[in-house]
Structure 1
């Protein structure tokens, strides 16, 4: 499986491209600000054709280019319904201060075709199958995308739910710290240590590394060893 990732825009949100291999269809995850040009370069270099866009949540630094990408290539986006309003009102999750700070930078084109994610129901696109897990906290519609790699192992696209050494902020409109802690305890900690995490910002990590060193996971209920090693989900 081909996995490409690079930061985009002023907030350096990670955009990812996943495909079964070179020379075929691919999936784009979180095409934020200024993503179109680097995406086009990756498509050309690897002979890829985008088949769909997966969005981990509705914040503009993760969805900004989804509309233009959909228009350019005739593809749909997937997003949890709790965050769909942000596609037409990107300032909704920022509050008055955020709207003033970003100003005209919040003007974006919403995707013409949006499929609502149903947690527990996989999304299959470009020959890849992504499991969908709802993890409210950073936003009401934040999700994780999990996928098995053909080479072995599992990848987790965590959006802004989990970072290397940190978690997403919960002080913006739609954020909820208690729900975030519940999402981490119920959906992150039970995962196997060797799951590779591709976060919404910053470097790649693993569940094991975060379980051992992420201060926001310390003190949360820990799943038993059987769950973590025999049922990695």
Structure 2
């Protein structure tokens, strides 16, 4: 399997092209990053792209779909020698899908990142990360919707959210404020944009994952 990545300089969103072999068949995964590096890979590999795999419909992941002019897929499929399994991972968005390609890599969209997770519905994000993605073989490469590649094995061991959800790290107890409301900071992690990502719990028991810029410590 051949993979090339492009990343948007401002949104830090990734788009990929994946091919079965040189001279073979390819698919794009998302389209929110500059297309030039991906088209260069297509030419160098002499492959024929046939589909766009869309992880979710947010603008920073679909911006160039029209330019590619290919059918958009969100389901399982085979394309040449590529075997693609689509897995629903709602939470960041209702339409979020992860794609496992050739049992080698999983494209996680905005659900799981290196050291972080996506914002959105707390219960859905936790389920999609712990019960869906991390139930896959841990040797899989993780190719996320933003910034750096990782592996499921690394995130199982080192991701701050995952470590607390696994019970190997205690929940935090630091007091903070979010949107002017008192809360407890359960987890603080690095995030793909160089800031932070936080899991906070409000006094009424609500658990929320928010961008670090919203947290007053």
For the criterion TM > 0.5, the same-fold answer is yes
Over 3 Å counting, the alpha-carbon distance change for 1:27 and 1:189 in structure 2 is same
**Per-residue displacement from partner, 1:181-227 (whole Å, max 9, x unpaired)?**
111121022222211111111211111110111111123359xxxxx
Q: Whose relative contact order is higher, 1 or 2, with alpha carbons under 8 Å and at least 6 apart?
A: 1
Do 1:32 and 1:65's aligned partners in 2 also have CA atoms closer than 8 Å?
A: yes
Deviation at 1:49, TM superposition (A): 1.9
- Tell me the TM-score normalised to structure 1 length: 0.67
CA RMSD of aligned residues (A): 1.7
**Structure 2 unmatched runs, 5+:** 168-217
Is 2:4 the counterpart of 1:50? no
Do 1:138 and 1:161's aligned partners in 2 also have CA atoms closer than 8 Å?
A: yes
Do 1:27 and 1:126's aligned partners in 2 also have CA atoms closer than 8 Å?
A: no
Match of 1:215 in 2: 160
Do 1:15 and 1:29's aligned partners in 2 also have CA atoms closer than 8 Å?
A: yes
Do 2:6 and 2:34's aligned partners in 1 also have CA atoms closer than 8 Å?
A: no
Deviation at 1:138, TM superposition (A): 0.7
Do 1:144 and 1:159's aligned partners in 2 also have CA atoms closer than 8 Å?
A: yes
Match of 2:141 in 1: 196
Mapped to 2, the partners of 1:12 and 1:125 lie a distance apart of 28
Is 2:73 the counterpart of 1:78? yes
Deviation at 1:38, TM superposition (A): 2.6
Match of 2:124 in 1: 179
Match of 2:114 in 1: 164
Match of 2:171 in 1: none
In terms of fraction of residues, the more strand-rich structure is 2
Mapped to 1, the partners of 2:132 and 2:143 lie a distance apart of 15
| Aligned positions of 1:9-48 closer than 5 A | 10-35=10-35, 37-48=36-47
Larger radius of gyration: 2
Mapped to 2, the partners of 1:144 and 1:132 lie a distance apart of 6
In terms of fraction of residues, the more helix-rich structure is 1
Deviation at 1:33, TM superposition (A): 4.3
Is 2:95 the counterpart of 1:141? yes
